[in-house]
Every structure is written in C-alpha cells, then in structure tokens.
Structure 1
Amino acid sequence: MSTPAELVAAMLALVAGVAETAADPSDRVRLLMALAEAPMPAGGNAALAAVGRRAALSALARAATACQPRSYDEAESLRTDVCELLATEEIVAADAGEDAVATALRAVRGAVDRDLRRRGANLSPLRPVEVKALMPSLVLAQRLYGDAGREPEITRMAGDPPNPIFMPERFTALAR
C-alpha cells in the first residue's frame, strides 16, 4: 500500500470489517465507538487518522439507527454518546477548514439526534427496584407490571441472575 487511495481503501475496509464482526447492533455500536475515539499514534498521519475516525463515525451513525434501545434511558445515553463524538469531529473538521465535512457531520448528527429522540420518546424510563426479601422473577414481574409474562424481561434487566427464583434485592427495571 503506497498510494493514498490504497490507504483510504484499507481504512474503510478495516471499519467495515469491524462493523461486520458484531451481529448485534449494540455490540457494533460499542466496537465502532472505540474506533471513533482511538487516539492518533505518536508520529501518525493526521489525515489518515481523520479518515479512520470519520469512516468509523459514518458506520457508527448507521449502527445507532439499527439499535433497538430497551428503555428511554438507553436511547438517551446512546444519543448523547454518538452525538458527542460527531460534534467533536465536526469541530475538528471546521478547525481544519474542511467546511463541507463539518456540514456533513452536522447533518448526520442532526439525523441521529432526531431518530433516537423520536424512538426514545416512546420507551419506558428505568427505575430502581428494591425489595425487602428475595423473590422469584415471576412474582416480581407480576408485582411490578401486573404481567408474569414479562418475567424474561425483568430477569434480563436484573443482570441475568444464576437462578431467577432468587432475584437480587436491588436492580434497575423498566418503569412501565
């Protein structure tokens, strides 16, 4: 790889490969965030580092729209994290005089922000759950939601305890 075009193609292939390794959109977001936040190595090429970050941010924006947050809090956290990364890169591009890139990043940030706000608005917020004694997940689901059928959900929210007959006394669950 000696030409700039080959380096850019390799960088894009790397980002695509990382994105494809995760079947779950949440895992994809986590991996791409790490790429987008990766610091430039000492003596590294700033332009190539910018290409890598921007490719990761582009893939991250797509992954964020594919995510299905389980709660309002999760959607809001994802929105904040992704939009902060996009805003940071937008400033870097603007400071470098790359106005078209900064404008494109602003548009992507706005689209991600609107999408996650819209989807998050329809989700239940999280709330702390505290019980005085160990209870089975079926009983907790019935008490919290009036629906024992939500037992798998409450078990997952409690961190998948080894035995759902003995749920933890404190955990976070959906408010409704």
Structure 2
Amino acid sequence: MAAVIPPWRRSLLPSTFRGVAFEVEGRDLSGGRNSVTHEFPDSEEVYTEDLGRKAERWSVEAYVWGPDYLTRRESLKKALREAGSGEYVDHWGGRHWVVATAWTCREHRTKGGWADFRIELVEAGVVKAQVIAGDSRSVVFGRADDALDPLALDFENGFSVGGPSFLGDNALSLLSDVGGDMSALAATVGGVGSGPLGQFQRSMSSFTGGLSALVATPSTLAGRLQSLIRQLIRLGGGGRASYVTASGLYATTGGTWSAVAPITDNRVRQAANQQAILDLVAGTALVEQARASAEMDYPTIEEATAARAEITSRLDTRIRAARSNDTRMALRRLGGAVTRDITNRGADLSRLTDYTPGATLPALVVAHGLYGDATRSAEILARNPDLAHPLFVPGGHAIKVVANG
C-alpha cells in the first residue's frame, strides 16, 4: 500500500529569499500589539492604550550544502546584502514581503560543504514595497515571458508515447479533452468579433486534426499548445477578460481525469504523460493569468488582494509539481513580481464597506446619493448579485459599496 502523505506535509514550500533557494532547520515567527500602560499615583486603576499592530518578524535557521555549496552560499549572501525589501517564501506556507535586518553565516571545519545561516527578517509593509517597485507591471510581463520556455522544456522531457499503442491513444484523448475545454471557454468570451474567434477556431481545428503526428514530437506539441492557449486567453482583448479566461482554463484542466495506478512500467509512463499535459496546460494558463493581472485595474483593495491570493496560491501548487529547478525558479520569480505589482498598485485603492439604505430605492437613486453619479448603479449591482431587481434595493438590507467613492 502506498504511503499516505499528510496534508500538512503537502503544504510545505521550498524556502527562498529574492528567488534564492535554501534549506531550513526551523524558524520563529513573532508579532503582537504595540501598547503603553498608564498607571496613576494614588489610584487602583490602570489603562493600557493599544497603539496598533507590531511588525511581524521571522528568525530563520537556514543552511546550504552540497558540492556547489560555495556558489549557493554566495548567492544567498548577495540576496541578503541587497538594499530594500524582497520576497520571502516561508517553508511552512505563505509569501511575505520583508527586509533582511541581520544575518550570520557559520561554517565549521567538521562540516565540509555546509554553511549555516541565521537570518532575521521583518515585514516591509505597503509603503516600502511602493518605494522600490518601479515599473512593476513590466516586471510581471517579463517574468511571465521567462516562465514559458521552462514549462515547455519540462513537457518535452516528461512526455513520450513510445511503446504500446494505448499510450498514444490515451494522450490523444487527454489532449482532445483540453481542446474541448478551450473551445467551450472561447464560446463564453463576450464581445469577441468574428475575426479573432474565427482565427482561434481555425487554429484549434488545425491542432486537433494534426494531433496524431504532434504527439510524436513533444517539443513541437508544446509550442503549438502554448500558442493556442495564449491565443484563447487574448480573445477578450487582455485585462480582466483574459484573467477570467485564464483562470477558468486553469480550474477546468484535468478536473475529470482519473488517476493512473503506476502498477507497470507502461502505466508509469501513462501517468507521467498525463501529469506532463496537466503541468503544461495549467502552468501556461497560470502564467497568462499572472500576465493579465498586471494589465488589470482594481477598483478596490479587496479585489486586488483576492487576485493576488488566488495567483500566489496556484503558483505554490505549480512550484511543488514542477519537474525542474528552472521551472520552479521561474515561477517563484513570477510570484514575487505579481506580489510586488498588486501590493504596489493596491496601496491607494478604496475599500469596500457595508451600506444599509433606509428605504427601498432604485439602484440609480442609491448611486446618486452615495457618489453623486447615478451611472454607478451598475457598479452597485455588480458587487451585489443577490439584488433581484435594479429598481428595488431593499431598505434595511446591507449592501457592499466602495467607501469614500
């Protein structure tokens, strides 16, 4: 019987700082509240004043080792010396924008090829991330471009239909499923002219018609499939429409596929092919979702935070599944760029708040009363899908609106 991996172990992440990987022995996380306690002469009363949250701090016991430990040691030291804040991926979960305030490196003559580090980190906060971000959107675009080739190379190295004919038949079936999912998504993209949609449909027809030959050349198959995915995701013209399409493709890929029991060498190959297709399609869709996130403008900080959380969570999943270190590093760098970009651009956004009308009113009237602009009624309706009719926003019922809009 195969060993059961507990959920907590599956959630562990490879630790990095500024994209430089290292191992960890342990780490301490501290936080709390700033406060001042007031005590008065000749009084039994005291008063403790809450002055806000303390910055969270990480004290990390790290190490690098192996034949290349000198190179890894210098890479980590360089990252720790760099000015400003950087992304820290915590082994026990989560991505954090931090400043390295102190570190030590210890080597011992009895531990050859090994360097221990003690690293002190403190959260950077939004303002620090803003100061150093620069043109954060273009960084995301560049990191997205950088991630596509490693994904394709992983597929080329992990996919093969050499052997019994059922391997090729199974691969064709899975790729046909992917094509069906993509065609279904294309049909839902609103505002698509016949030109772009027709071009995509012709490309899809050519792809599916040539699959029997393509499966024999994994590098060509990977290139064609990535091109088709990007063509699909750009149908909506970029931004939010592309984000939704990419997110949908990521969510649907492989959802109906059955796990393959690796009981023979051929079944091991079948399982590897299935995983390779999933990694390529889901990975490429996620890279394009990240790219679209940098094209989007976010109306509220809640929407920006939700997009950042979805992308970074999915990237963590793809990093754990990645076949090669090149792909892991490319996806980590992309995650850092997305975190920086959305944190930077979300700093000055409005927040959502609850508003309760005193009486049942049309959405137009509510929008005019809140914002002095009746045309923003569509915004209110979009944020409150439970409202049954635009003429009847019920009094006494809290709805979500933009604060200080």
> Which bin holds the TM-score, normalised by the shorter protein?
0.7 to 0.9
Partner residue in 1 for 2:354: 128
Secondary structure of the corresponding residue to residue 400 of structure 2: strand
Once the two structures are superposed, what CA deviation does each residue of 1:95-150 show, in whole Å capped at 9, x if it has no partner? x4x11111110110011011111111211111122112123445434543xx413x
Q: Which amino acid aligns with 1:76?
A: T
**1:152 to 2:367 alignment:** no
Cα 1:117/1:52, change in 2 over 3 Å: same
State the percentage of identical aligned residues.
25
1:105 equivalenced with 2:334 (yes/no) = no
SS in 2 for 1:64: helix
Whole-angstrom CA distance in 1 between matches of 2:245 and 2:363: 32
Q: Say which structure, 1 or 2, has more relative contact order (CA 8 Å, 6+ apart).
A: 1
1:164 Cα deviation (Å)?
A: 5.3
Report the CA distance shift for 1:69/1:168 in structure 2 as closer, same or farther (over 3 A).
farther
Gaps of 5+ in 1: none
Superposed CA RMSD in Å reads 2.4
Which residue of structure 1 lines up, in the alignment, with residue 92 of structure 2? none
Q: Which moved more, 1:156-165 or 1:6-15?
A: 156-165
Deviates more, 1:69-78 or 1:132-141: 132-141
Higher relative strand content: 2
Is the 2:380–2:401 contact (alpha carbons within 8 Å) kept by the matching residues of 1?
yes
- SS of 2:237's equivalent in the other structure is coil
Structure with more helix by fraction: 1
The corresponding residue for 1:21 is: 235
Q: Structure 1 CA distance, aligned partners of 2:222 and 2:297?
A: 31
Distance 2:326 2:336 in 1: 15
Q: Is the 8 A contact 1:154 1:173 kept in 2?
A: no
Q: Which consecutive unaligned segments of at least 5 residues does structure 2 have?
A: 1-213, 259-269
Greater Cα shift, 64-73 or 6-15: 6-15
Q: CA deviation at 1:162?
A: 8.6
Deviations 1:52-76 (A, max 9, x none): 1221122111101011111111111
Q: TM-score, with normalisation over the residues of structure 1?
A: 0.83
Counterpart CA distance in 1 for 2:337 and 2:291 is 10
Instruction: Decide whether the 8 Å contact of 2:361 with 2:391 is kept in 1.
Output: yes
- Which SS does the other structure have where 2:359 is aligned? coil
| Bigger Cα Rg | 2
Query: Paired residue for 2:400?
Result: 172
Runs of 4+ in 1 over 6 A off after TM superposition: 160-163
For 1:92, the equivalent position in structure 2 comes to 321
**3-state DSSP of counterpart to 1:158:** helix
TM-score if structure 2 supplies the norm length? Answer: 0.39
